[in-house]
Structure 1
């Protein structure tokens, strides 16, 4: 056995191959069963699809790289749940494409930001000048979002793709109603309006689940 170990330890290529094999089997053993567990594949009962305005805000959130500095995953640790609220469960994010759980926190986790006693106006002022409200913040300012109007040209297609390919339960009537708002009350919405709407939606499904 000692000789076998010596052969492996002295052959870097063989060691790499065997490590990859071991990691692959371990990963498969942990990941594959999750595909058959309802808790990871079915939405929680209170989850609702994003409105067109919230979906547009999510696109702005991704485009501006907000997910690079903010996670959306409260881990089941006391220090996290006391600060951010209920820990995140997979059923909250089954309709997320791409998912935004993340792993790096330059800024605080935002998964429950919609449940905090923070007003819409606070979010707007914070986006325009973060340090005016949080002096120690190192978040960049996004003042141009209040002037940039949302590009709605692809929203109908986006909602249809989420409906047909990602399993989000939009009915055809839902999409028609959302597009009516896009062409009506939201026609002149700014990217700031959309981003704030998205942020305020985060965590709302868990609020409704507790009620």
Structure 2
């Protein structure tokens, strides 16, 4: 009863009540904020993790622009049914270069964290133009304009530079060559194709993602979808790949 009386008296004293609220909120804030000071000591690093290429980054930007993240999450939980359906559970380090992160919480459509390499480029193109053509029961909207809209590449260098300020290790050479690298990744026979693999690694995929010689937004989106879950091989052999900083 004494506790209830003290609470009753506190409610009658506005200043004391405000102080009490501030103290309670401060405790909650400290519990949430304090661990961030040691985050560099607790987050794993992935030695084979690579950054998005300019073309893949452009596709990610279009993916965000079209609101795809509202229906598709990109985080596989550690539950057995999740792993059996989608593949190895997601690692926090896989999202270290994602700004913003696209983990999501709603699955109107399936999780796509391990989508890369699961379907062919042609499947993705057909699916984006008319989802019902490949998945008759799909309720996904169609995005046919991606196949005809030319991809804007002139500002990709600025995108990479902005991400570097957030900690993504893009080099001056990557930033300077971003527009050319976007064109070259979708044109493997071009003179600049070798530069793409030199800057982003031999594992980088170079091909005409949309199947047409003209660089479109479809190329960028498909390139992005095909790299999901493929930026590192750590999820498939976590004990061998994870390192503590």
Q: Structures share a fold, TM > 0.5?
A: yes
Distance 1:23 1:87 in 2: 34
Contact 1:69 1:107 in 2 (8 A): yes
Aligned to 1:168: 168
Distance 1:17 1:82 in 2: 51
Aligned to 1:73: 75
Contact 2:157 2:177 in 1 (8 A): no
Which residue of 202, 215, 218 corresponds with 1:189? 215
Aligned to 1:64: 66
Question: 1:139 deviation in Å?
Answer: 0.5
Distance 1:73 1:17 in 2: 40
Contact 1:42 1:94 in 2 (8 A): no
> Which has more helix, going by share of residues?
1
| Structure (1 or 2) with the larger CA radius of gyration | 2
Contact 1:41 1:94 in 2 (8 A): no
Aligned to 1:149: 150
Where does 1:34-183 land on structure 2 (aligned, <5 Å)?
34-38=36-40, 41=43, 43-115=45-117, 117-163=118-164, 165-182=165-182
Contact 1:48 1:205 in 2 (8 A): yes
Which residue of 226, 241, 245 corresponds with 1:200? 226
Contact 2:51 2:231 in 1 (8 A): no
Q: Per the alignment, in what secondary structure is the counterpart of residue 204 of structure 1?
A: coil
Q: Per the alignment, in what secondary structure is the counterpart of residue 95 of structure 1?
A: coil
Question: 1:158 deviation in Å?
Answer: 0.8
Aligned to 1:29: 31
Distance 1:126 1:103 in 2: 23
Aligned length: 209
Cα-Cα RMSD: 3.0
Query: Normalising to structure 2: TM-score of the pair?
Result: 0.72
Aligned to 2:196: none
Partner deviation per Cα, 1:90-124 (whole Å, 9 max, x = no partner): 21112111111111111111111115x31111111
Distance 1:199 1:58 in 2: 8
Contact 1:39 1:91 in 2 (8 A): no
Gap regions ≥5 residues in structure 2: 188-213, 238-245
Distance 2:41 2:230 in 1: 19
Contact 2:91 2:235 in 1 (8 A): no
